[in-house]
Structures are given as structure tokens and as C-alpha cells.
Structure 1
């Protein structure tokens, strides 16, 4: 792993953490996860198993530490690990199409859906968190808005990051395309 790439991944995770901390909770302490958007951007830039593992675990641990959802640490770590590797697998399958901004935005939306379903499933059914709301209420009140937030954030942030990467000497999938 290249040190410059590690620094860029750390910056993405740091920006995601800052956005995550300042975002208010919507329903029962759950809030849109901008760290997820940054994880997706990192995986798009560095589509390899090592980088995905590092981004997923780091993002999961930080999301878990900052979560306002009761008992949300373990669901965050599990959710980010599953979502990160599922995103990578789909990305590698449709590698040529993923360079299209619309396709990438759709992938981010689908990744957000998967993340929300995994998080809620682990939190409510495995951990047994009692937050006074059902899966459907939390899905409709938090995951659906999070899809919109994450896709819009991706559409704003990703072009900026790719422009910076192309001007620099980073070795990413974008700079080599």
C-alpha cells in the first residue's frame, strides 16, 4: 500500500467522520451516514481487497464510536464490512460501466440500501436493540432519506476528488483510466 494513498483514504474517512458527527439524528437516533459515502468514494478510487478492508473496518469502527443508535457499534462494523466488500465485488464486475458518473451514483444508492438493511437487521434482530420503532419505520425514516443524501453528496464530492486526484500523482483507478 502506498503512503500517499493511505493519506488520501484517511482524509476521506476524516471528512466523512466530521460530516457524520455534525449531522443531526432523524429517527430514534439514526442519521444518514456520510462516512458511507466517503467509503464508497475510497473504494471507487482504490478498488482492491486490501484498501477495501482498511476503509471498511476504519469506517465501521468510527461510525460505531460516533453512533447515537443504542448498541450501534457492532452493527456499524458488520454493516460496513459487508457493504464495502459487496460494493467492491459489484464494482469489479461492472468495472467499465463504473467510470460513468450515473452508474457510480446508482451503485452508491444501492450500497446505501444494503448498508441500511444490514445495519437495521443486525441492530434489531441480532443485537436486539429496543428503540421503540420497527424495521419499516426506521427504513422509511432514515434509510430512504440517507439514499438521497448520500447520492447527492457523492455527486458533489466525487468530481472534486477525482479532479484533485488527476492533478496529483496518486495511483488510483481514476488517474489510470
Structure 2
């Protein structure tokens, strides 16, 4: 893996950490997971399997450390790992459209839904849910998916412009 790509991933995840830390717990400790937007941008910018795994591991541990969901540490790690692999596969399947804004919107929405469902199911089996699944899905996961659509597009375009201005040439690998 390229050092520049790893540094960009680390910087993005640091921004994700700050965003995840700032968002308060909303419904029974669940919070909007804006770290997902950062993770999606990282995988879109650097579509390498090793980067996806690195992003999943670091993103999972960061969200596990900052979760406000009771017992949400392990479900956070599981959901980030599953989500990153599935998003990586979606990007590889439709690779030539990965810079298309509509595709980025779709990846962000679908990826957030996958993450939320995996988190809720794993939390259900590991620690139990403090509220009904449907309530948590409709109250947190769906609004987070809508929010992440806008966040992902915004962050992706900002990072893409920054990379272009810096003269780096690793978008689109």
C-alpha cells in the first residue's frame, strides 16, 4: 500500500473520529454514525482491499471507543467490518461509475443501511436492544442514511478537490 494513501485514510478517519465524538447519543444511546461517510469516502478514493480492511478495523475501533450505546463496542466493530467489505465489493462491481455523484449517493445510502442493520442485529444477539428493532431502525438508521448521503457527497467532493490541487494522482485506481 502507498504511504500517501495510508496517510489520507488516517486523516479521514481522524476527521471521522471528531465527527463521531461530537454527535450526542439520541435514542437509547444510539447516535448518527457520520464515521460511515468518512469510511465510504476513504474506500471510494482508495479502492484497494487492504485499505478497506484497514478502514474497517480502525473505523470500528474508533466508533467502539466513542459509542454511547450500552454494550455497543463489539457490534460497532462487526458492523464496520461487514460494511466496508460490502461497500468495497459494490465499488468493484460498478467500478467505472465510482466517481458518479448518483452512484456515491447510492453507495452511501445502501452502506449506511447495511451498517445499521448489522449493528442492530449483532447488538440484539450480543447485548440485547433497549428498544424495538423497528423503532431504532426508523428513528436512527434511516435518518442517518439520509444524513450520510449529503455528508458523503460533500466530503468526497472536498477531498477530491484537495487531492487535485495537491497534484496527487490516486483517485480512480
Q: TM-score range by the shorter chain?
A: over 0.9
Q: How many corresponding residue pairs?
A: 173
Structure 2 unmatched ranges of 5 or more? none
Structure 1 unmatched ranges of 5 or more? none
2:166 paired residue number: 168
Take 2:111 and 2:80, find their aligned partners in 1: how far apart are those partners? 10
Take 1:46 and 1:130, find their aligned partners in 2: how far apart are those partners? 35
Q: Which runs of 4+ in 1 moved over 4 A?
A: none
Aligned to 1:71, the other structure's residue is in SS state coil
Take 1:73 and 1:85, find their aligned partners in 2: how far apart are those partners? 19
- The equivalent position to 2:144 in structure 1, one of 143, 146, 155, is 146
Structure 2 contact 39–59 (Cα < 8 Å) conserved: yes
Compute the TM-score of the two structures, normalised by the length of structure 2. 0.96
Take 1:19 and 1:169, find their aligned partners in 2: how far apart are those partners? 27
1:162 deviation in Å? 0.4
Tell me whether 1:13 sits opposite 2:18 in the alignment. no
Take 1:172 and 1:112, find their aligned partners in 2: how far apart are those partners? 25
Tell me whether 113-122 or 155-164 shows the greater mean CA deviation: 155-164
Structure 1 contact 70–129 (Cα < 8 Å) conserved: no
1:71-128 C-alpha deviation (Å, 9 max, x unpaired): 111101110000000000010000012221111111110000000000000001x203
1:104 paired residue number: 104
1:132-177 C-alpha deviation (Å, 9 max, x unpaired): x011010011001101111111122111100111222434234x6x
